[in-house]
Amino acid sequence: MTASLTLYMLAASVLAGLGIYGVLIAGHLLRKLLALNLLGMAVLLMLITLGARGTGAPDPVTQAMVITGIIISISATSLALALLLALQRVTDETHLDAEPLPPVGEDGDAAGSR
Amino acid sequence: MTAGTLLDFLIITGLVWLAWQVVAGRELFRAIIMFIALGLAMAVAWARLGAPDLALAEAAIGAGLTGAMLLATYRRLLEHNPAKGGQRYARSSRLALPVAVMSSLLVMLLGLTLVNIMPVEGEVAGQQAIQLMQAVPMENPVTGVLLLWRGYDTLLEMSALVAAWLALRILQPQDAATLPPLSSSIPLLQALLAAAVPIAVLVGGYLLHAGGKAPGGAFQAGAVLAGAGVLLGLTGSLQRSTRASRLLRAGVVLGLIVFSVLGLGQLAFGQPAFAIPGLWTIYLVEGALTVSIALTLLLLFLGSAGVRRPAP
Amino acid sequence: MQLAPAELLLSLVFAPLLAAIAAVMLGARAGRLLAVMVCLVLAIQLLFLGQRFSADGPFDLALAGIAPPLGIRLALDGLNLLLLWLVTLVYLGTSLHAWASIGAGARGTAFWPPWLLMLSALNGLLLSGDLFTMYIGLEIASLSGISLIALDRKADALRAAMRYLLLAMLGSLVYLLGVAVVYAITGALDFALAGSRLPGGAVTIAALLLMTGGLLLKSAIFPLHGWLPPAHGSAPPPESAVLSALLVKVSLYMLYRIWFWMEVPVAGLVSAGQLLAAMGAGALVYGSIAALRQQQLKYLVAYSTVAQLGYLMLVFALPGAWQGTIYHLLAHGLAKAAMFLAAGNMIWALGSDRLDRLPGLDRHIPASVFAFALAAVSLMGLPPSGGFTAKWLMLTAAWAAQAWVWVLLLLTGSLLTAAYLFRVFALTFAPRSPRRRAQPVRRPHPLMELSALALAMLAIGMGFSGTPLLDVLALPPQLLPGAAPGLPAPLHLTPGAP
Amino acid sequence: MIALDLAVVMLLVVGCGFYLAGTIGLLRFPDLHSRLHALTKADNVGLMLVCAAMALASRSVRVALLLLIVWALALLASTVSAYLIARHAHMARGYRT
């Protein structure tokens, strides 16, 4: 089992790195939120992996902590989404930078056709 | 390499690839879809790690409801401003990559060190919970921790959800006209609803009941019920409303009320506060929590303080 | 006489929680009445709990009858007793202000339930002896607090709330990772128990740094302060007051608990503590200079918070300053709450928050201007005031430790504070230019003025109550002479006002 | 018993084959409708075969019934979602993705 735990720990750290990278490079607030949620998943994966050490069932206290973590993160995410929608209604902005940078890559406007 | 390790290797490869797609995917819509897929893969990983309760919670809440909320928000952003809603702004930050790599390496170092050590001597909270299981009429230690021994945390967790709903009362569009139903009605969808909603209620009830001995519990059950509500919302059978009826508000705070009253009520019997006794009290608390969680999650998805039946 | 039972601690959390539920069910009118009543009830309960504390010393309550490591412990000692008083008094004052300034209309319906929920979460956080319960408490308080910033859905406030929320989410994840590490190596979440089991070494340092980093982000310590001024500057006045006086302080409180109660056996703590204190020094200088350059009244007050938070980091390098630091935390809480309320009244009267609109205002709303002035006296550290006592204690500690840099910084900080606050006075008492004579001035509701005045008087009053308050405040275990391997032994202070 | 195990392995292999074919189809087919065609094959037949394999392997009627429900639900969901995707594409008059 330890081999697997090592694997999951590696995955958690890569996910954490990707999450931080995403938070730093994202301009669109939805992307920032995706990255923060990714980081949250990485932390929870780490918590579970740590709870699964040793023999027998994973530590129930860690599991309860993770359920709490999931609930807290959906609460915070929904608050952020509500703020984002309100922000767009008032200012027409979907990002927090003082000046909008020129859009890079393709627009997501054709989402309906996918 | 055993078959299990191979499977784990495949799962984490998937996790990392999906996470990369979430962060670096060119289109926002695609990134959101990948995030949902990541949540499901994460649920598989957690099941592999021996935590089916968490796998259920992650699949239903982390991937399912969060994903639905993200997609609905994406759509509403586009509806408001098709030109800008989905646009991608990338910031050029030269620090981003080194910072991310450094933190990833530090977390890796920390994690790999921790995997190979066990807690120092002294009783571990989790072991204490497993030992206490023998004295209570339940078999699932996670439910035990959530309700019996650290129920106070669960109560606070419920308040966090309620806090998010209270925020919606501030942030929702104040004008009812800007709250259209999410989708027009489609015949086949009605057929799906006719089947899916009763099944969701059944599954929710089962999960609630099973929480005592098998994986499940109030959070998973509430999420499944909220999922049924999401379907009803998507098909226009339930519509957003800026006002919450008294009954709805009572439903949202029901879990807090029942848990607080039963938890504090123990003091009247000379018991410690939150020492929830007996099976029936547990079911009462879990049932009330399920109702509140389901309603709150549904409202968080709808992004409005209330919900109503559509006008005929 | 019968002493209060430990179970009374629960009511500090559940009275506001049930009031929040009642406000959801019964509406704004009931909500605002309940808010004020709950504060009064809390004050009475704190009197009883304080009585028990002075008779028995610190005590705790194991929830569900299960002791740590599994169970959750609520604990009362001198530190959180004082902070609970601060929360109650600030909430009483700000709720009275909100009674008139928010009211019981549509704004009130949205305002009162999260307002009460935040009170419950703050009290829960302060009482908790559990690292994870503290995390949930901080999350609830942040979520409620952030949503209240955006109460009026103005563009600035929405941006500020969003920025705050993103950083708060990041900060709490980092903190949570630290808690996960602590649990992984000790099997306990109670900070005292977990602390006693921490083995030391690299992993312990990592856990400590993660928790510290997350909390520094949440308490806006320089250079992580960027989110604070817009958030505190754009919220409704009672909300700004609570954010500045309480919400940033409780994450610092958690930091103190972790650093000084967990008794971490790590040798390298001294230099880390020096670094934290250096951040505090940076906050002091940067925040003050930024406050000097503001053109908007509330942003000036908000940058002042950034600066004043710097003092609260001093204790990490100078353990002898413990009492002074906590005294400053309390005095700043009261004074800053008063100042935000008074500034809110001034802005309300003018219909603008530009500093250059202030001239002549003293004749229209003298009570608010006076409250602002009293709060400023305490912030500048002029005698007699809570701020003076606090700074005196810190100076004495720095002097005795021969930390001349700190002596210099403390004095410079006071001078800079005086500089940016006198700027407000100079403008307020300046004669109006004839051009602006026609400008209408609205009169704030008397409650709005009285609440600001009352909080400011309390901040001044703290200058006369040094001894009884400091008696309550025992040194934490890590700061006891010879107790900590990491930190230098603290100095013995004669507690009491100079 | 050996015959039964053999059947389990056969069913799994064939089921996975369907999944593989469906996935390749999803990736390689040129337009939306043929992709949906490929996907639904994997969903329906592939899942059925894998469920059947697991039902046999469990040797329990209860598990077999549960798996039957699982399959039926997946069928329901995939039918409706495939219909919705096709309908949306039809409405948008875009047959390419």
- Best mutation target among D76, D90, D97 (most B Cβ atoms within 10 Å) is D76
Amino acid at position B155, single letter: L
In chain A, which residues have their Cβ closer than 8 Å to the Cβ of C154?
90
Break chain C into its structural domains and give their ranges.
Answer: 128-479
Interface of D with B in 24-83 (CB under 8 A): 73, 76-77, 79-80, 83
Which residue in the block uniquely carries the two structure tokens 């201007």?
Answer: C369
With an 8 Å Cβ cutoff, are A112 and D92 in contact? yes
With an 8 Å Cβ cutoff, are B113 and C150 in contact? no
Nearest residue in chain D measured CA to CA from A114: D97
CA-to-CA dists, residue C391 to C384, C397, C474, C492, D90, angstroms: 11, 10, 19, 17, 73
Chains D and C touch (3+ CB pairs under 8 A): no
Which CATH code for domain A2-95?
A: 1.10.287.3510
Q: How far is A98 from chain B (nearest CA, A)?
A: 12
With an 8 Å Cβ cutoff, are B195 and D80 in contact? no
Q: What is the pLDDT of residues C43-102, one digit of tens each?
A: 999 999 999 999 888 999 999 989 889 999 999 999 999 999 999 999 999 999 999 999
Q: How far is C99 from chain B (nearest CA, A)?
A: 18
pTM: 0.93
State the average pLDDT over residues A63-85: 96
Q: Is the pLDDT of residue A7 over 50?
A: yes
Residue B199 contacts D, CB cutoff 8 Å: yes
pLDDT band at D28 (very low <50, low <70, confident <90, very high): confident
pLDDT band at B192 (very low <50, low <70, confident <90, very high): confident
Paired tokens of B105: 């390496």
Residue A87 contacts C, CB cutoff 8 Å: yes
Residues 6+ away with beta carbon under 8 Å from C272: C208, C209, C212, C316
With an 8 Å Cβ cutoff, are C153 and A86 in contact? yes
- Best mutation target among B27, B188, B231 (most D Cβ atoms within 10 Å) is B188
Nearest residue in chain C measured CA to CA from A40: C173
Q: What is the pLDDT of residues B252-302, one digit of tens each?
A: 999 999 999 999 999 999 889 998 887 888 889 999 999 999 999 999 999
Residue B95 contacts C, CB cutoff 8 Å: no
State the average pLDDT over residues B149-167: 95
Q: Is the pLDDT of residue A99 over 60?
A: no
**CA dist., res. C308 & res. C283, Å (int):** 8
With an 8 Å Cβ cutoff, are B188 and D80 in contact? yes
Q: How far is A55 from chain B (nearest CA, A)?
A: 11
With an 8 Å Cβ cutoff, are B124 and C69 in contact? yes
pLDDT for residue C42: 97
Nearest residue in chain C measured CA to CA from A43: C177
Q: What is the pLDDT of residues B217-242, one digit of tens each?
A: 899 999 999 999 998 888 778 888 88
Listed ranges B175-179, B192-196, B308-312, C454-458; the one with the highest mean pLDDT: C454-458
**Regions of chain C with pLDDT less than 50:** 483-498
Chains C and B touch (3+ CB pairs under 8 A): yes
Break chain D into its structural domains and give their ranges.
Answer: 2-92
In chain D, which residues have their Cβ closer than 8 Å to the Cβ of B188?
79-80, 83-84
Residues 6+ away with beta carbon under 8 Å from A16: A39, A42, A43, A46, B103, B104, B107
Q: Is the pLDDT of residue A2 over 80?
A: no
Q: How far is C294 from chain B (nearest CA, A)?
A: 28
Interface of A with C in 3-62 (CB under 8 A): 23, 29, 32-33, 36, 39-40, 43, 46-47, 50, 53, 61-62
CB C90 within 8 A of CB C250: no
With an 8 Å Cβ cutoff, are D97 and A112 in contact? no
In chain A, which residues have their Cβ closer than 8 Å to the Cβ of C173?
36, 39-40, 43
pLDDT for residue C48: 94
**CA dist., res. D15 & res. C490, Å (int):** 72
| Residue of C454, C321, C336 whose CA lies nearest to C391 | C321
Length of chain C: 498
Q: Is the pLDDT of residue B86 over 80?
A: no
Paired tokens of B161: 């959800």
pLDDT for residue B131: 87
B174 versus C315: which is more confidently predicted? Answer: C315
B79: number of Cβ within 10 Å: 11
Interface of A with B in 55-94 (CB under 8 A): 57-64, 66-68, 70-79, 81-86, 88-89, 92, 94
In chain A, which residues have their Cβ closer than 8 Å to the Cβ of B138?
none
CB B143 within 8 A of CB A82: no
State the average pLDDT over residues D1-17: 89
Helix ranges, A52-112 (H): 60-91
Of C136, C161, C173, the CB nearest to A43: C173
In chain B, which residues have their Cβ closer than 8 Å to the Cβ of C197?
119-120, 122
The region of weakest confidence among B127-136, B194-203, C487-496 is C487-496
Q: To the nearest whole percent, how much of chain A has pLDDT over 70?
A: 83
Residues 6+ away with beta carbon under 8 Å from D84: B186, B188, B189
Stated as kind and residue range, the H or E segment containing B308 is: strand B306-308
Q: Which chains touch B (3 or more CB pairs under 8 A)?
A: A, C, D
Residue A43 contacts B, CB cutoff 8 Å: no
Residue D88 contacts B, CB cutoff 8 Å: no
Q: How far is B186 from chain D (nearest CA, A)?
A: 9
Q: Which chains touch D (3 or more CB pairs under 8 A)?
A: A, B
Nearest residue in chain D measured CA to CA from A111: D97
With an 8 Å Cβ cutoff, are A30 and B28 in contact? yes
With an 8 Å Cβ cutoff, are B192 and D80 in contact? yes
Interface of B with C in 158-217 (CB under 8 A): 159-160, 162-164, 166-167, 169-171, 174
State the average pLDDT over residues B8-23: 95
